[in-house]
A = this chain, B = another copy of it.
Protein backbone atom coordinates (compact mmCIF):
# COMPACT_ATOMS: atom_id res chain seq x y z
CA UNK A 1 0.00 0.00 0.00
CA UNK A 2 1.05 3.59 -0.69
CA UNK A 3 0.62 5.38 2.62
CA UNK A 4 0.09 8.85 1.12
CA UNK A 5 -1.78 8.83 -2.13
CA UNK A 6 -3.70 11.40 -4.18
CA UNK A 7 -5.26 10.11 -7.38
CA UNK A 8 -8.54 9.39 -9.19
CA UNK A 9 -9.05 5.82 -7.98
CA UNK A 10 -12.02 5.00 -5.75
CA UNK A 11 -10.90 4.71 -2.14
CA UNK A 12 -10.71 1.49 -0.14
CA UNK A 13 -10.96 2.23 3.61
CA UNK A 14 -10.07 -1.34 4.58
CA UNK A 15 -6.77 -1.17 2.69
CA UNK A 16 -5.70 1.73 4.92
CA UNK A 17 -7.02 -0.06 7.99
CA UNK A 18 -4.98 -3.16 7.18
CA UNK A 19 -1.97 -0.98 6.43
CA UNK A 20 -1.75 0.63 9.87
CA UNK A 21 -2.41 -2.54 11.91
CA UNK A 22 0.29 -4.50 13.70
CA UNK A 23 0.70 -6.60 16.84
CA UNK A 24 1.10 -3.68 19.22
CA UNK A 25 -1.84 -1.65 17.98
CA UNK A 26 -4.78 -1.47 20.36
CA UNK A 27 -6.74 1.26 18.61
CA UNK A 28 -7.34 2.21 14.99
CA UNK A 29 -9.35 5.30 14.04
CA UNK A 30 -10.58 5.73 10.48
CA UNK A 31 -12.00 8.97 9.17
CA UNK A 32 -13.92 8.76 5.92
CA UNK A 33 -15.05 11.97 4.25
CA UNK A 34 -17.96 11.40 1.88
CA UNK A 35 -19.81 13.64 -0.57
CA UNK A 36 -22.88 15.06 1.18
CA UNK A 37 -25.95 16.10 -0.77
CA UNK A 38 -27.37 18.95 1.31
CA UNK A 39 -25.51 21.91 2.83
CA UNK A 40 -28.20 24.02 4.45
CA UNK A 41 -30.59 24.79 1.60
CA UNK A 42 -27.99 24.15 -1.11
CA UNK A 43 -28.02 20.86 -3.01
CA UNK A 44 -24.80 19.33 -4.31
CA UNK A 45 -24.96 17.37 -7.58
CA UNK A 46 -21.31 16.30 -7.58
CA UNK A 47 -17.92 17.44 -6.34
CA UNK A 48 -14.81 17.95 -8.36
CA UNK A 49 -11.40 17.78 -6.69
CA UNK A 50 -8.17 19.02 -8.20
CA UNK A 51 -4.69 18.69 -6.66
CA UNK A 52 -1.09 19.63 -7.12
CA UNK A 53 -0.42 15.93 -6.80
CA UNK A 54 3.31 15.60 -6.03
CA UNK A 55 3.21 18.38 -3.43
CA UNK A 56 -0.06 17.09 -1.97
CA UNK A 57 1.45 13.64 -1.39
CA UNK A 58 4.56 15.24 0.11
CA UNK A 59 2.39 17.31 2.49
CA UNK A 60 0.48 14.19 3.57
CA UNK A 61 3.83 12.60 4.41
CA UNK A 62 4.78 15.75 6.34
CA UNK A 63 1.55 15.57 8.35
CA UNK A 64 2.29 11.93 9.20
CA UNK A 65 5.78 12.99 10.33
CA UNK A 66 4.28 15.73 12.52
CA UNK A 67 1.99 13.10 14.04
CA UNK A 68 4.90 10.79 14.79
CA UNK A 69 6.64 13.63 16.62
CA UNK A 70 3.55 14.54 18.66
CA UNK A 71 2.23 11.02 19.27
CA UNK A 72 5.22 8.65 19.15
CA UNK A 73 4.40 5.22 17.83
CA UNK A 74 1.28 6.42 16.02
CA UNK A 75 1.03 5.45 12.35
CA UNK A 76 -0.90 7.48 9.77
CA UNK A 77 -2.02 6.65 6.24
CA UNK A 78 -4.04 9.00 4.02
CA UNK A 79 -5.58 8.53 0.61
CA UNK A 80 -7.35 11.44 -1.05
CA UNK A 81 -9.33 11.07 -4.23
CA UNK A 82 -9.49 13.68 -6.98
CA UNK A 83 -11.66 14.09 -10.05
CA UNK A 84 -15.46 14.00 -10.14
CA UNK A 85 -17.24 12.38 -7.21
CA UNK A 86 -20.92 11.59 -6.83
CA UNK A 87 -23.00 11.90 -3.67
CA UNK A 88 -21.89 9.31 -1.05
CA UNK A 89 -18.54 8.60 -2.69
CA UNK A 90 -15.44 8.74 -0.49
CA UNK A 91 -13.18 11.79 -0.95
CA UNK A 92 -10.65 11.06 1.79
CA UNK A 93 -9.74 8.24 4.13
CA UNK A 94 -7.41 8.78 7.10
CA UNK A 95 -6.26 5.81 9.18
CA UNK A 96 -4.34 6.24 12.44
CA UNK A 97 -3.22 3.49 14.77
CA UNK A 98 -1.59 3.42 18.17
CA UNK A 99 -1.28 1.36 21.32
CA UNK A 100 -3.92 3.48 23.08
CA UNK A 101 -7.10 5.08 21.82
CA UNK A 102 -6.45 8.68 22.87
CA UNK A 103 -3.47 8.95 20.52
CA UNK A 104 -5.29 7.38 17.59
CA UNK A 105 -8.27 9.74 17.96
CA UNK A 106 -6.21 12.89 18.47
CA UNK A 107 -3.80 12.10 15.65
CA UNK A 108 -6.66 11.41 13.26
CA UNK A 109 -8.39 14.68 14.04
CA UNK A 110 -5.08 16.50 13.74
CA UNK A 111 -4.53 14.96 10.29
CA UNK A 112 -7.82 16.18 8.82
CA UNK A 113 -7.38 19.67 10.25
CA UNK A 114 -3.86 19.88 8.81
CA UNK A 115 -5.05 18.55 5.44
CA UNK A 116 -7.47 21.46 5.33
CA UNK A 117 -4.62 23.88 6.08
CA UNK A 118 -1.65 22.79 3.99
CA UNK A 119 -2.41 20.09 1.42
CA UNK A 120 -2.84 21.59 -2.07
CA UNK A 121 -6.19 20.06 -2.98
CA UNK A 122 -9.18 22.11 -4.12
CA UNK A 123 -12.83 21.28 -4.20
CA UNK A 124 -15.37 22.64 -6.66
CA UNK A 125 -18.98 22.31 -5.64
CA UNK A 126 -21.39 21.61 -8.44
CA UNK A 127 -24.59 22.92 -6.89
CA UNK A 128 -27.94 22.53 -8.57
CA UNK A 129 -27.70 26.28 -9.22
CA UNK A 130 -24.07 26.68 -10.33
CA UNK A 131 -20.46 25.83 -9.51
CA UNK A 132 -18.05 27.31 -6.99
CA UNK A 133 -14.42 26.70 -6.04
CA UNK A 134 -14.40 26.30 -2.28
CA UNK A 135 -11.80 27.60 0.09
CA UNK A 136 -10.91 30.93 -1.51
CA UNK A 137 -12.67 32.76 1.25
CA UNK A 138 -12.01 35.79 3.36
CA UNK A 139 -10.46 33.81 6.21
CA UNK A 140 -7.39 33.25 4.05
CA UNK A 141 -4.28 35.24 4.85
CA UNK A 142 -1.33 35.65 2.53
CA UNK A 143 1.88 33.76 2.98
CA UNK A 144 2.41 30.68 5.05
CA UNK A 145 -0.80 28.93 6.07
CA UNK A 146 -1.62 28.84 9.77
CA UNK A 147 0.38 26.34 11.71
CA UNK A 148 2.86 25.32 9.03
CA UNK A 149 5.89 23.84 10.75
CA UNK A 150 9.18 25.10 9.43
Q: Which residue of B lies closest to A36 (CB)?
A: B26
Query: Chain B residues near A99 (CB, 8 Å)?
Result: 36
Residues of B within 8 A of A33 (CB): 26-27, 101
Q: By DSSP majority rule, is chain A's interface helix, strand, loop, or mixed?
A: mixed
Q: Are B30 and A36 in contact (CB under 8 A)?
A: no
A25 / chain B contacts, CB cutoff of 8 Å: 34, 36, 88
Chain B residues near A17 (CB, 8 Å)?
13, 30, 32
Interface residues of A in 1-60 (CB under 8 A from B): 13-14, 17, 21-38
* Closest B residue, CB atoms, query A98: B36
Give 9 new A-B contacts, CB below 8 A, not counting A17-B30, A105-B109: A22-B88, A24-B36, A28-B34, A29-B29, A29-B30, A29-B32, A30-B30, A31-B105, A33-B101
